[in-house]
Amino acid sequence: MQAGSGLSGLTKDTTHERERQTVSARKQQLLKRHRQRKRLLLVGVLLAALLLGYTVSWWSLVVFLAVGWVAHEAWLSDHLFYAPGDDYRYEFPAGTPQFPVTLREGCLQVAGAFDTHQTLVLQVRVKSSWLGHFLDPQVLIGDDRQDLERGVGAERFLNLTGQGQALASGTLALRGRFCKVAPQATLHVLSNPDFAQQRLLIVAPHADDAELAAFGLYSRAPEVAIVTLTQGEIEAERYRDMGLDPAQAARLKGRLRSWDSLAVPLWGGVAQQQCVQLGYYCLQLDAMAKAPAQSFGSLESGENDIREVRRFNALSLPGDVDGMPTWRNLVADLTHLLEHHRPEVVLTPHPELDPHSDHIAGTRALMEAIELSAWRPQTLLLYANHLHDNDRWPMGPAGYGIALPPAIEPLPADGLWSPLLDASVRMDKAMALGMQHDLQGRPPFKRRLRRTIQRLLAGRHWPRTGEDEFFRKSVRRHELFWVRRLGMSPQDDGQTRRP
């Protein structure tokens, strides 16, 4: 797919639908293959069990089955919907500087001078060792570490951002653990301004999306506003356990998460007056997009009026008039917010990488609002809190860098921006996630048991700051955004746009 620099790459629904269908079809094929292999493995285990049943005692059979289950949890339970031998396919914008790199005596040597303060991506081939099929392959880069898929044997894209000076001086050490790194590589240098110094608007489909993707960024931005699209009220089993019926539990969860969306950003220096909760209902945005005039109430709470959770908003919005959860109101609300905050940069979920239906529809609503708005931002920063192909990405422990995610199907040739988070900001980000009600509580027993098995047998570790998987995946050395330019705005070229 060829990238565009303006809106066309995001507003053509047929293109997005075709991309999603391609990814979905490939995922279904891999899932089918995975299930076939599991069935064959199960048949083999049963045959072996029957053989053992005839030749040894029953307790030996029990031990055999228990060992097989433990092995499955340790090494076969990852949700990986591509082959570890598949190359990642990234194309960067035309004119992106590229430099040959050689790994010599354990250090990277770059042929040429480059801007050490920009986003640096190393394209290199990595080959797993035999141990790397059981333990996560690791690439150690200076004081950083980036983990890859077990059994990897293909091109990967490592994030060297923040280590430019050591790289330029030829002293940046790089070595593989449980894998071998090819001696020849390519460095991509992606230049961007510091977007934290521009006016920002963050579009968060749910409470916590802004913190997961961009806490480090927004906590140092002098001008930032956050708009949360939905209440996030569904899947309220935890509150049902408190004795509430399903509708009461969903309403309580929606109120709590709506409060989170307004209150937690204050921990990162964003005043409540700069945060807006729109109050639409979780997992209904896609249906709203297909029937723009129709009202779509909550799937679980029984509510159909978005005004209840809007009472703390500092702004009056078009949707406040009738309180109807419709696509037209959502687009009108976003249009009003664009014109009120006049952002230069808008952060929104990546429509090709992030598969959550609310995330895809939320970005679509934003693009429709930009088309209608009298104000047009200059840049989109796209983020991915979920992923089609690998639910462990970013792989490896918390605190380390973020290698680029799987891109088995070609993506638009966007730029990248990967600001650094120091240790104090990472701790603040972890605490911000801990304040989010949806990230609190203990995981199910089976997941905790699996983690124990993987820690003992596969060498994996989880942080002490929180038990939800996002504490591992999101509290990192880097944050990562895809940069999509929107072109000249009407405020620059003198044209007038109809609100």
Q: What are 435-474's pLDDT values in tens digits?
A: 999 999 999 999 999 999 999 999 999 999 999 999 999 9
Question: Is 70 exceeded by the pLDDT of residue 355?
Answer: yes
Domains, the chain: 8-76 (no CATH), 98-190 (no CATH), 195-386+422-475 (3.40.50)
Give the tens place of pLDDT for each residue, 19-75: 455 555 555 566 566 566 666 766 666 666 666 566 666 666 677 778 878 988 999
Bridge-based pairing of strands 179-190 and 119-128 is antiparallel
Q: Chain centroid to CA 91: how far?
A: 19
Q: What is the pLDDT of residue 65?
A: 74
- For the beta sheet containing 224-230, the strands, ordered from the edge strand earlier in sequence to the opposite edge, are 275-280, 224-230, 200-204, 345-349, 379-383, 481-485, 415-417
Q: Indicate left, alpha or beta for 328 from its phi (over 0: left) and psi (-120 to 50: alpha).
A: alpha
Q: What is the pLDDT of residue 84?
A: 94
Question: Is 90 exceeded by the pLDDT of residue 273?
Answer: yes
Per cent of the chain over pLDDT 70 is 86
Give the separation between CA 393 and CA 121, rounded to whole angstroms. 17
Give the separation between CA 398 and CA 474, rounded to whole angstroms. 7
DSSP, res 132: G
Give the tens place of pLDDT for each residue, 315-326: 999 999 999 999
Give the separation between CA 157 and CA 186, rounded to whole angstroms. 9
Q: What is the pLDDT of residue 495?
A: 39
Query: pTM value?
Result: 0.90
Give the tens place of pLDDT for each residue, 280-304: 999 999 999 999 999 999 999 999 9
- Mean pLDDT over residues 177-186, rounded? 98
Give the separation between CA 374 and CA 409, rounded to whole angstroms. 35
- CA contacts within 13 A on the Cβ side of 242: 12
- CA torsion through residues 22, 24, 25, 31, sign: positive
The residue among 50 and 276 whose pLDDT is bigger is 276
Best CA proximity match to 293, nearest among 322, 313, 267: 322
Give the tens place of pLDDT for each residue, 470-489: 999 999 999 999 999 997 54
Question: Is 60 exceeded by the pLDDT of residue 135?
Answer: yes
